[in-house]
Amino acid sequence: MMLVILVLVIGLATLELAGTEVKLSGNHKLALEALYLAEAGVQMALHMLERDPAWQQGYRNYPLGRGVIKTVTVTHEGNLVTIESQGEVLGVGRRIRVQLEKVPVPFTHVIETNSLDLRPGAMVMVEGDAVHFGDFALAHGELDALLTVEGSVRLAGGRFKGAMAATGAITVYPDAQVEGTLISAKEVSGVEGYAGVPVILPAGSLPPDLHWYYQQPRFPVEEPVLDLGELSSGFYIAGGDLTLVGQNPVSNYQGSVAVVVPGTLFVHCNLIPENPELDTLVLAAERIVVSPWVTDCAGIFLAAEEIQIEGGTLSRKLAGSLVAPRISIGPGQVTLSYYPFPGAHLVKQPQMLLQVNKWQEIMLMK
């Protein structure tokens, strides 16, 4: 979401400067603008590191607004990455240094899909980055998200909030409500937006490779029903369709667990880790269906074909990542939030999360 962040950073800078112009001297105002540019340079580097954890090319003399991102340097030392970024406006410069740690996690996005389908009455809030590989269309429901789209966008109806960046054109029709920022590498029509801005897609993992799980040491599941509370760390492979249940309303799980189904996996219970910092649950299947009465889930959902969140429950929460070629969400309020689960060994290709350890301004030498 680099471009979204850049636009929001510059927009925020403009608003703040407009509100404090009387209080600031000329040099102070330029220094504040330069600081925003330095922060934007860090965000640009973070975006490239999300695509390639070994990236170190940096930037030099990148024009933005009425100033320039003078330099952005990236250095690697083991699992640590240091970014230094300098912004400059009319000869006034500011520099910041950020130290990050590369942490392997199953996924870094809350959603990765080729097709996100909101049914009439669906109200979806996405807390974390979402990636849509392919053209995106919204005709029903409400979507509040930070969404990057590889392709064109067609907002024919429903309501969109948040920020969206697309490699293709964005078209907004009269029946659609837009209360957010739209960015397109080509054009935005129907509402105000930012056009002609390069949009770079993060790396994706579609479709999930379920065959990898069959090569791991595993526990066979012979019954069509599996009790979540009876599982310990390991890979559980079903022989066909499977229903996941829990004996208690809370339905806690412990350890690093992967449940793999060569068919449809029906989730009939809440999925709550005993310790979110240690426990991880991966559900991998051809299709995953989350029942209407399930209100609280935390884990990694991988489907080779589709994830279906059935409607009917007024409010529900899912924390983790949803990865599937198609994700369908029924009516009701759904909050999808990202959580950095630790079970990188439970997926074929872990992704790298950049965790900020230190963020500081450093003095420029005269």
* Secondary element (H or E) of residue 81: strand 80-89
- Tell me the pTM: 0.84
User: 106: cis peptide before it, omega within 30°?
Assistant: no
pLDDT at 5: 44
What CATH number is associated with residue 18? 3.30.1300.30
Which residues are bridge partners to 287 per DSSP? 264, 306
Q: What is the SS3 assignment for 128?
A: strand
Q: What is the dihedral of CA 117, 153, 337, 143, to 10 degrees?
A: -70
- How far apart CA 80 and CA 332 sit, in angstroms, is 42
Tell me the residue range of the domain where 168 lies. 127-195
For residue 183, being part of any structural domain is answered with yes
For residue 113, being part of any structural domain is answered with no
| Residues 31 and 151 both lie in one domain | no
Could you report the per-residue pLDDT of 211-235, keeping only the tens digit for each? 999 999 999 999 999 998 889 999 9
- How far apart CA 168 and CA 5 sit, in angstroms, is 19
For residue 36, being part of any structural domain is answered with yes
Could you report the per-residue pLDDT of 48-94, keeping only the tens digit for each? 887 788 889 999 998 887 899 999 999 999 999 999 999 999 999 99
Following DSSP, what letter does each residue of 208-271 receive, concatenated? --GGGGGGS--EEE-SSEEEGGG--SEEEEESS-EEEE-SSSS-EE-SEEEEEEEEEEEE-S-B
For residue 111, being part of any structural domain is answered with no
Which residues are bridge partners to 297 per DSSP? 271, 318
For residue 238, being part of any structural domain is answered with yes
Domains of the chain: total: 3
Tell which residue, 222, 240, 234, has the closest CA to residue 259. Answer: 234
Higher pLDDT, 249 or 217: 217
| Residues 164 and 238 both lie in one domain | no
Could you report the per-residue pLDDT of 105-129, keeping only the tens digit for each? 999 999 999 999 999 999 999 999 9
pLDDT at 204: 73
- Give the end of a domain, one of 195, 225, 245: 195
| pLDDT reading at 198 higher than 90 | no
pLDDT at 354: 87
| Structure-token pair, residue 101 | 């740690």
To which residue do tokens 């599996």 refer? 226
